[in-house]
Amino acid sequence: MASIFQPGIYKGKVLFITGGRSGIGYSIAEEMMRFGASACILGRDAKGLQESAAALEKSTGSKCLAAPADVRSKEDLAKAVKACLDKFGRIDFVVCAAAGNFLAPISGMSENAFRTVIEIDTIGTYNTLKATLPAVRETKGAYLHISATLHYAGTPYQAHVSAAKAAIDALSNVIAVEEGPRGVRSNVCAPGPIANTEGMKRLGTKGREIERGIPLGKQGDTTDIAYYALWLFSPAAAWVTGSTMVIDGGQMHIRGTSLPYPESVLDPESVKELYKGKL
């Protein structure tokens, strides 16, 4: 990517990222740091977070602060923002990547389970916005919200995540409108299936089954999202706000779900009854 992005383009800039210990969040931090940014990564696993920060510094040569925090806690986020400002003096870019997921139908999901994902994804994003906004206004910075494509269709077993991500998309659009006059930008990235992430492991769908439904024939990589962030936070995207970038290899245009339908939502006997005399 050095041939595309200018070395040191983010020197002196500071990235604040929730869900930065692993997966997409880690990859965004790593690529931004390769091009000069300092980073503050957040997560609930304090030990794992320290290990990730050390690994990021070693691989990039830039500074990284580990700030243990649960995005559901306003107090945790306030402490993390203060720690970031104390160490680096500013916050230019915020990535909201903290998320939770599991497979469950509405009929079999408890209210508490539904609420947990809403609290991590939606309330966590809201809390992050509230905690960082004063600092981001100072730098006329930008937000990137990691969403999904699940809510673009009725995806079985993903009502909780679909609701949470739809709300995040709306929050981003409102921030774009409310804060645009102050020079603050806000955008969404909606990844499709990204290989070797915690989310894909939890969903449990086999890679080849997914890839058959992707026009480009393969799952994405975390760097596919990170490279988008590199561009989005750069001067090249200075007039981009209130947008959603779908990065899914074209998947959303040919189907709504990677699960076989209606087999995925009915028991075998019901499927046989449904198709009796039709096949």
Whether 165 sits among the annotated catalytic residues: the reply is yes
233-264 confidence digits (pLDDT tens) = 999 999 999 999 999 999 888 765 556 667 77
Give a yes or no: residue 6 inside a domain: no
The per-residue pLDDT for 121 is 98
- State residue 184 phi and psi, 5-degree precision: -95, 135
Give a yes or no: residue 34 inside a domain: yes
Q: How many domains does the chain have?
A: 1
Give a yes or no: residue 177 inside a domain: yes
Q: Which two tokens stand for residue 165?
A: 């991500």
The per-residue pLDDT for 168 is 98
Q: Exactly one of 22, 27, 62, 147 is catalytic; which is it?
A: 147
The per-residue pLDDT for 91 is 99
In whole angstroms, what is the distance from residue 218 CA to residue 193 CA? 9
In whole angstroms, what is the distance from residue 74 CA to residue 57 CA? 28
Whether 172 sits among the annotated catalytic residues: the reply is no
| Sheet bearing 142-146, strands edge to edge | 64-68, 38-43, 14-18, 93-96, 142-146, 185-191, 244-247
DSSP letters for 49-79: HHHHHHHHHHHHSS-EEEEE--TT-HHHHHH
Give a yes or no: residue 5 inside a domain: no
Give yes or no for a contact between 170 and 152, defined as CB atoms under 8 angstroms apart.
Answer: no
Structural domain for 159, as ranges? 14-248+260-275
Give a yes or no: residue 130 inside a domain: yes
Give a yes or no: residue 2 inside a domain: no
Model-level pTM?
Answer: 0.90
Q: Exactly one of 165, 172, 186, 258 is catalytic; which is it?
A: 165
Q: Tell me, what CATH number does 115's domain have?
A: 3.40.50.720
Give a yes or no: residue 140 inside a domain: yes
Give a yes or no: residue 1 inside a domain: no
Mean pLDDT by groups of 10 residues along the chain of 279 residues: 79 98 97 98 98 98 98 99 99 97 94 98 98 99 97 93 98 99 99 80 63 86 97 98 97 70 76 64
Which residues, at least 6 apart from 162, have a Cβ–Cβ distance to it below 8 Å?
148, 150, 151, 155
147-175 confidence digits (pLDDT tens) = 999 999 888 999 999 999 999 999 999 99
